Amino acid sequence: MKVLVIGGAGYIGSVVVRELQRRGHEPVVYDNLRTGHREAVPPEVPLVLGDLADRDQLATAFQRYAPEAVMHFAAFIEAGESMRFPGRFFANNVASVITLLNTMLDHDVTRFVFSSSAAVYGDPDSLPVTETAFLRSTNPYGETKAMVETVLRWLGELSGLRYVSLRYFNAAGAADGVGEDHSPETHLIPIVLQSALGLREAVTIYGDDYPTRDGTCIRDYVHVSDLAQAHALALDYLTAQERSLVCNLGSEQGASVREVVEAARRITGIDFPVLMGPRREGDPASIIASSQRAMEALGWRREHSSLEEIIASAWEWHRTHPRGYASS
Ligand SMILES: NC(=O)c1ccc[n+]([C@@H]2O[C@H](COP(=O)([O-])OP(=O)(O)OC[C@H]3O[C@@H](n4cnc5c(N)ncnc54)[C@H](O)[C@@H]3O)[C@@H](O)[C@H]2O)c1
């Protein structure tokens, strides 16, 4: 199937592009390279340099490549930044997606896979969090994802759109020579590994007085390869089913910040320094997914999401690409 992958030069999108190729699909990447990397796109995959907000260029890409499905990864992703610049987030993560969806429908393309996020839940009342939990994001980033899901629901009911919205928990790890290269980097595992490489002075743990097993926050890390499998399965779902789907993608196991640090020390063999800092406002103590729905509806199976495998694969990437894509 021809798949237009918006944001396919970014971290998760570029791993999904390779999975699509492996399964015989024909991905085309559309990306403005604002946070993505040209080198992350396989040379044989067409790369359209364009912004999602550019209606004319989007329409040209639909005419030229005639995609049968669209996957959307193109968003600003940093929750803290969304507290400082909410307008930018609503413009890029919501308004531009509406432009995309309208362009799809104009071209009779009705299959859509969306990168949603655990951030839609905020600080959930009970764990593991299921898709029926109340949505109450604690920052504009999470709210943008919830808003797009609302738009999807209405376009699904009234305009014939069919979609799978995948609420990822913490994407991590590396695969196929593709890894995480965000700037600035705010995700724990790359930060820890950059500290192991001596690229940062220390890792700061924000709070060790949470009601968790070791006092530090617990998050659910899922390997980017397992996310890529879920995207391929979502395409199959949209081919076989007339329905849409919203589902979590997580490992269903939490790791605390301290456990990530200790696992990274063990795997790298480097005893990098760790500092204790105060809590950050808005950080929930624990968030862990139930991924039962993805397993049942998509047939999703996690194969790489143990903390060991996630960190070992990420270490391989960071060790060989200490400055990310600029290293190659
Ligand atoms: N990384 C995570 O842990 C995580 C967790 C939950 C959800 N998500 C979601 O997954 C998606 C991908 O995340 P990522 O970590 O790969 O981010 P990323 O920044 O590496 O990739 C995003 C890509 O989209 C492109 N892009 C952004 N705005 C664009 C626009 N207006 N027009 C064209 N291209 C544009 C960027 O250049 C980049 O290549 C995002 O939607 C994010 O919200 C990520």
Question: Tens digits of per-residue pLDDT, 237-271?
Answer: 999 999 999 999 999 999 999 999 999 999 999 99
Question: Tens digits of per-residue pLDDT, 285-299?
Answer: 999 999 999 999 999
How many domains in the chain?
2
User: How sure is the predictor about 282, in pLDDT bands with cuts at 50, 70 and 90?
Assistant: confident
Mean pLDDT score, 151-162: 98
Q: What is the pLDDT of residue 5?
A: 98
**What's the CATH code of the domain at 165?**
3.40.50.720
Mean of pLDDT over the chain:
97
Q: What is the pLDDT of residue 309?
A: 98
Residue ranges making up the domain that contains 256: 188-219+252-287+303-327
In a domain, 297, yes or no: no
Cis peptide preceding 43, ω within 30 of 0: no
In a shared domain, residues 130 and 273: no
In a shared domain, residues 13 and 93: yes
Q: Which of 5, 35, 48, 247 to mutate to test the pocket of ligand 1 (most atoms within 8 A of CB)?
A: 35
Does residue 328 have a pLDDT over 80? Answer: no
Compute, in angstroms, the gap from residue 72 CA to the centroid of ligand 1: 8
Q: What is the 3-state secondary structure (H, E, C) of 204-241?
A: EEECCCCCCCCCCCEEEEEEHHHHHHHHHHHHHHHHHC
In a domain, 152, yes or no: yes
In sequence order, the 6+-apart residues with CB closer than 8 A to the CB of 187 are 170, 172, 180
Question: Tens digits of per-residue pLDDT, 34-65?
Answer: 999 999 999 999 999 999 999 999 999 999 99
Backbone angles phi, psi at 59, to 5 degrees: -60, -40
Compute, in angstroms, the gap from residue 273 CA to the centroid of ligand 1: 30
In a domain, 294, yes or no: no
317 ligand 1 Cβ < 6 A: no
Q: What is the pLDDT of residue 24?
A: 98
In a domain, 298, yes or no: no
**What's the CATH code of the domain at 278?**
3.90.25.10
Mean pLDDT score, 122-145: 96
Q: Which of 4, 12, 32 to mutate to test the pocket of ligand 1 (most atoms within 8 A of CB)?
A: 12
Q: What is the pLDDT of residue 216?
A: 98
Compute, in angstroms, the gap from residue 127 CA to the centroid of ligand 1: 26
In a shared domain, residues 232 and 154: yes
Does residue 196 have a pLDDT over 80? Answer: yes
Q: What is the pLDDT of residue 327?
A: 84
User: How sure is the predictor about 281, in pLDDT bands with cuts at 50, 70 and 90?
Assistant: confident
What is the distance between the alpha carbons of residues 10 and 18, in angstroms, rounded to a whole number? 12
Does residue 210 have a pLDDT over 90? Answer: yes
Q: pTM of the prediction?
A: 0.98
Q: Which atom of ligand 1 approaches the CA of 7 most closely? A: 24
